[in-house]
Chains A and B, each alone.
Chain A
Amino acid sequence: MRTRKTAKGLKGAEAGLNRDLATILTGVVLGTLARYWMLRRDFRQYPSYPHAVVTHLALGFVAATLGAVAVPAIAAKEYTAVTFLALAATQFRDVRNMEREMLVAIDQSSLVSRGPDFIEGIARTFEARNYLVVFVSLAASLAAYALSPPYGILAGVLAMLLVHRFMRGKLIGDIAKVRPAELHFEGANLFVEDIHIMNLGLKEIRRVYEEKGRAVILEPLDDNGREILANVGQRQAIAHDVAALLGIHRDVDTAEFTPLLRRKAETGRVGMVIVPIEPDMECLLAAVRNVPVLESAFVRPLAARAGRCAAD
């Protein structure tokens, strides 16, 4: 009798272990996949391939494990296991610092810098994505534990789609109309339509601008867009992204060819000049439209009564 009971208990324990294992495995796999999926959308901002990918996949794996273990731990009444999540938060804040330090260091050696706002945005995204992985793996393991692993996979995929849907920020194309424009000189002063960009003293430089320079105008769609484009960090991010995508006709000693975005205070319109290696205007417009709106630049004066009132 006693032997049979023990055998039954052992079997039960084994079933429980298998269930825990299946739960954790589902959560870990789905969470790590989620991190990989989110990394794939990063290439424009952060192309350090493949070592950075390994680093972030490894951190994603750690985050997924933490999320996946939480459910079986709570089911086993191991409530203290939840404190692991607090540990995770500390870990991922370090990810943000690591990314920031690295990007600031390499920013000095790029021809068109990202600027501190863009870097902060990227670093923050890297931190946040680890929390999103915890969320995905938690959702997957919860469904796997409560129902069965196939449901866990389904829940994980749903969580991923949810993350994809809500974490997609706005693009410049959503807040402003981007159109081609003509650049011209008045004496030594460079203008894009009526927007003064800079003063260029040398004739050779002016000739290069006249031959190869390209200009676009960004017209904010509303007052929110106007304030976003007023942000200097946002404009630096546009200059960086466009230069990275189209190439830039400059070297360290030709500061004249740094792409510039200047604002007409009266209208809020922003003019941009660049001397790209690839002079294709359609690609230039697409590059500008696809620059992300930085979180630090995102403001909504129209959401406040005073802002709406001032807008009329």
Chain B
Amino acid sequence: MEITIAKMILAAVTTAGDRRVEGCPVFYAADEAEAAEMCLVLSRVLEGVAHDMGNGVYIIVKH
């Protein structure tokens, strides 16, 4: 039986450096392009989906 963590925020990527994002691994990006690149890598590595919170914060969640 394979055990995985699902329905949990595995990581967050943000371009908003002044915003406090806590509670999970947080990656700060310089701009949107870098954030998208980091999201792509993280979602592939974690086998999760990158969701756009709409305020400059992306979360990686495994479903």
Binding site for B on A (CB under 8 A): 108, 187-188, 198-205, 252-256, 258
Binding site for A on B (CB under 8 A): 2, 36, 39-40, 43-45, 47-52, 54, 58-59, 62-63
The 10 closest A-B pairs by CB, nearest first: A188-B52, A201-B50, A201-B52, A199-B51, A253-B44, A201-B58, A201-B51, A255-B49, A256-B49, A202-B50
CA distance A268 to B1 in the complex (A): 35
CA distance A253 to B48 in the complex (A): 7
Contact of B52 with A200 in the complex, beta carbons under 8 Å: yes
In chain A, what residue has the closest Cβ to B44? A253
CA distance A204 to B54 in the complex (A): 17
In chain A, what residue has the closest Cβ to B45? A253
Contact of B47 with A252 in the complex, beta carbons under 8 Å: yes
Most B CB contacts (10 A, CB to CB) among A198, A202, A258 go to A202
The listed residue (B2, B39, B54, B63) touching A255 by CB distance below 8 A is B63
Contact residues in B for A201 (Cβ distance below 8 Å): 39, 49-52, 58-59
The listed residue (B2, B45, B49, B54) touching A200 by CB distance below 8 A is B49
Most A CB contacts (10 A, CB to CB) among B2, B47, B48, B50 go to B50
In chain A, what residue has the closest Cβ to B2? A108
The listed residue (A188, A204, A252, A255) touching B40 by CB distance below 8 A is A204
Contact of A203 with B44 in the complex, beta carbons under 8 Å: no
CA distance A256 to B2 in the complex (A): 21
Contact of A202 with B63 in the complex, beta carbons under 8 Å: no
In chain B, what residue has the closest Cβ to A187? B54
The listed residue (B40, B54, B62) touching A202 by CB distance below 8 A is B40
CA distance A253 to B59 in the complex (A): 16
CA distance A205 to B48 in the complex (A): 13
Contact residues in B for A200 (Cβ distance below 8 Å): 49-52
Report B50 CB to chain A, min CB distance, Å. 4
Report A204 CB to chain B, min CB distance, Å. 7
**Provided the pairs A108-B2, A255-B62 are in contact, do residues A202 and B36 lie with their beta carbons within 8 angstroms?**
yes
Contact of B36 with A253 in the complex, beta carbons under 8 Å: no
CA distance A254 to B52 in the complex (A): 16
Report A222 CB to chain B, min CB distance, Å. 32
The listed residue (A108, A202, A203) touching B43 by CB distance below 8 A is A202
Report A243 CB to chain B, min CB distance, Å. 16
Contact residues in A for B45 (Cβ distance below 8 Å): 253
